[in-house]
Amino acid sequence: MRHVASTLTIAGALGAVLLFSGCAPTVTAIPPETSEAPSPSTPEAAPDAGTQDPSVGATPFDVDLTKTEFATSWRDALATGATAFDGEPVSVSFEWNRTVWAYTVKLLSADEVYLATVNADTGEIIGEWTKPRGGGGRAGTPTGVFPADGVIEPSAAIAAALTAAQGTFEEWELEQDNGVLAYEVQIDQGNDDVDVRIDARSGKVLEIDN
């Protein structure tokens, strides 16, 4: 018992010395380990089909257009324009419009010109303009109107143009010129563009404009 008391006395004295000398031991509390369950991941919301930008298309710019069929044909684009404007078709063009392949249809009435740009993937109108006929056009009965019957598909006209002039397809326009309905296909040859006119009914090359 005396031995235990002596030991306690010595320990107390040693603690007092350490305290007064500024060497008191630092005690750091160790928090108990916690096992937090990971937060459940939030599933991504499904895109709202109703908010899709109609000016964006699904078909990329560098697609092979001689082998590509769009959901909307140029005939469909003409029909779409005809539902929005009471006029006769005089031209259809097709080109890359910033983010989408699109048709621009031109219709004439007795006193107005109507243009509509139609998304080739969705068939939606992404731009339209109406203005009075004037300048190069004379008011009255529309001229240059063409029937769509018997017209070859654009892919055939593009293929014929690329055979006649090597390069990369850029755009085409379908309209009557000097009484002949023809595709004018623009081909990019690097430093220059070449326009190739293709008969829209026979597929024959009519002219190469370098």
Name the CATH code of domain 54-209 (choices 1.10.530.10, 3.10.450.40, 3.40.50.620, 1.10.10.10): 3.10.450.40
Give the pLDDT confidence score for residue 140 in this predicted structure: 59
**Position 42, amino acid:** T
Higher pLDDT, 16 or 148: 148
Measured between its terminal Cα atoms, the distance across the chain in Å is 118
Residue count of the chain, please give it. Answer: 210
**Across 139-152, average pLDDT:** 75
Quick: pLDDT tens for 59-104: 999 998 888 899 999 999 999 999 999 999 999 999 999 999 999 9
Return the domain boundaries, the chain: 54-209
Structural element, H or E, at residue 14: helix 2-20
Give the pLDDT confidence score for residue 76 in this predicted structure: 96
| Cβ-contact 141, 155 below 8 angstroms | no
Would the pLDDT of 16 be above 60?
no
